[in-house]
Amino acid sequence: MSGDSILAIDDSMLVDAGTRRKIYRHPEDDDKILKVFWEDQMPARRRARLWYGRFKSLRRYDDNELDYLQYRRAMKHAPGPLGCIYTIFGYAETTQGRALVGEHVRNADGGTSVTLRRFLQDHGPAKIFPLVDDLFEELAANHVVTKDPHLENILVRELEGGALRLVIIDGLGDPNFIPFATWSKRLNRKKLMRKKQTLIRKAQLFAEFG
Ligand X SMILES: Nc1ncnc2c1ncn2[C@@H]1O[C@H](COP(=O)(O)OP(=O)(O)OP(=O)(O)O)[C@@H](O)[C@H]1O
Q: Does 140 bind ligand X (CB under 6 A)?
A: no
Are the C-beta atoms of 119 and 131 separated by less than 8 Å? no
Instruction: Give which of ligand X, Mg ion, none residue 65 binds (C-beta under 5 to 8 Å, depending on kind).
Output: none
x/- mask, ligand X, residues 63-92, rule CB under 6 A, reads x----------------------x------
Which residue from 30, 137, 127, 119 is spatially nearest to 83, judged by alpha carbons? 137
Q: Does 152 bind ligand X (CB under 6 A)?
A: yes
Selected binder of ligand X within 13, 15, 141, 200 (CB under 6 A): 15
What separation in angstroms does the CA of 136 have from each of 129, 157, 164, 168? 11, 16, 15, 10
Stretch that binds ligand X, among 43-51, 77-85, 104-112, 134-142 (CB under 6 A): 104-112
Are the C-beta atoms of 158 and 108 separated by less than 8 Å? yes
Q: Does 12 bind ligand X (CB under 6 A)?
A: no
Residue type, 101: V
Q: Does 19 bind ligand X (CB under 6 A)?
A: yes
Stretch that binds ligand X, among 9-17, 45-53, 54-62, 69-77 (CB under 6 A): 9-17
* Alpha helix positions (H), 18-153: 43-49, 63-77, 116-123, 128-141
Are the C-beta atoms of 198 and 95 separated by less than 8 Å? no
Selected binder of ligand X within 104, 143, 157, 196 (CB under 6 A): 104
Are the C-beta atoms of 114 and 123 separated by less than 8 Å? no
Count residues contacting ligand X (CB under 6 A)? 22
What separation in angstroms does the CA of 98 have from each of 36, 41, 91, 143, 157? 7, 13, 7, 29, 27
Nearest distance in Å: CB 149, Mg ion: 10
CB atoms within 10 A of CB 139: 25
Q: Does 23 bind ligand X (CB under 6 A)?
A: yes
Nearer to ligand X, 103 or 137 (CB): 103
Stretch that binds ligand X, among 97-105, 119-127, 178-186, 198-206 (CB under 6 A): 97-105
Q: Does 29 bind ligand X (CB under 6 A)?
A: no
